[in-house]
Amino acid sequence: MPMPAKAVLLVHGGAGVINRDSMSSEMETRYTTKLGDALIAGHKVLKAGGSSLDAVVAAIQVLEDSPLFNAGKGAVLTRDKRIELDAAIMDGASLQAGAVGAITTVKNPITAARAVMEHTEHVMLIGKGAEMFLRDIAKKIGLTLVEPDYFMTPLRIEQLEEALASEKERYGAASHSKTAHRKTRKAVGFDENKFGTVGAVALDQSGNLAAGTSTGGITAKRYGRVGDSPLIGSGTYADNATCAISCTGHGEYFIKHVASYDVAARMKYLKEPVSIAAPYVINTTLRECGGFGGMIALDRHGNAAVPFNTPGMFRGAVTEDGEVSVSIYCD
């Protein structure tokens, strides 16, 4: 998807092995429609004079509410069949940021991340402590709380079972799930290497940038694993002086290379435009060490970059006048 000359909002719904041949036209339409819905929701906020933070939240909520993506409803399951959600948001004007890790009861994790940013002196809250804070403040700020079962879908349960069975196969244990595993991958158009994190970056009428990211992590994760999405500078970053970024991919690599901040640093110190800095980090820094994924990046002038080093990435952009463009594959 060629990027528009001047974008005000970008979204992504994950990068990975997304195959054109194995994705039905119906499923492709579902994805592109929902990405478009997210862009329209965010653009509506910006057109009305709303902040980039508000636009990012509006766009991400649409994707979190859709079972198509690995965030909010439809998030992947941990090894012990639980939902543990991570999210982050950052304001490019003030460099204020908020993040949550391993939460289980807030309908839209991006709103939980914003609550941490705006109602605590901290940047990140995780696990039980985060849940306590969010329950205490929910009524005051209008957070929607749900039971953990709300997030689960039959597809994610099946994917977890297949992942555990596949692990047994690798270690010699008998399994009868091979056929089902192939069937599920073909039905949805990608395999287990797809990363379904969602994110958005926006530029508002005041020239302020913001970024947000939300995810369920990786299927069969364990030990309270937290990836790059809620880590400021790794999966999420925004600074009016450089750019706003949201990442998706193999989080451990994005963490080790502080991927989103690296783009901002290249822009700041090497004076590279976002169109060079972002692709360099994805296609050189990460690829050389075996890291796969992508990112959406937007600078303070509305210049955009959406590099990814996987066969596909769900992504889209909208311009100031409301022109929406959405794409999935690498061509």
Q: How far, in Å, are 121, 131, 219, 251 from residue 196 at the CA level? A: 30, 24, 11, 12
Q: Which of 197, 248, 310, 319 is catalytic?
A: 197
Rounded Cα–Cα distance for residues 275 and 133 (Å) = 40
Nearest Cα to 72, choosing from 9, 131, 13?
13
Rounded Cα–Cα distance for residues 180 and 238 (Å) = 42
Joined tokens for residue 82: 């639980």
State the DSSP string of 10-55: EEEEEEE-B-TTTS-HHHHHHHHHHHHHHHHHHHHHHHTT--HHHH
Q: Is there a catalytic annotation at residue 242?
A: no
CB 46 within 8 A of CB 65: no
- Beta-strand ranges (E) seen in 67-156 are 85-91, 97-103, 124-126
Alpha-carbon torsion, ordered 75, 79, 82, 87, to 10 deg: -50
The label of the residue with tokens 């929910």 reads 138
Pairing assessment for the beta strands 97-103 and 124-126 based on DSSP bridges: parallel
- Would you name the residues annotated as active-site residues? 197
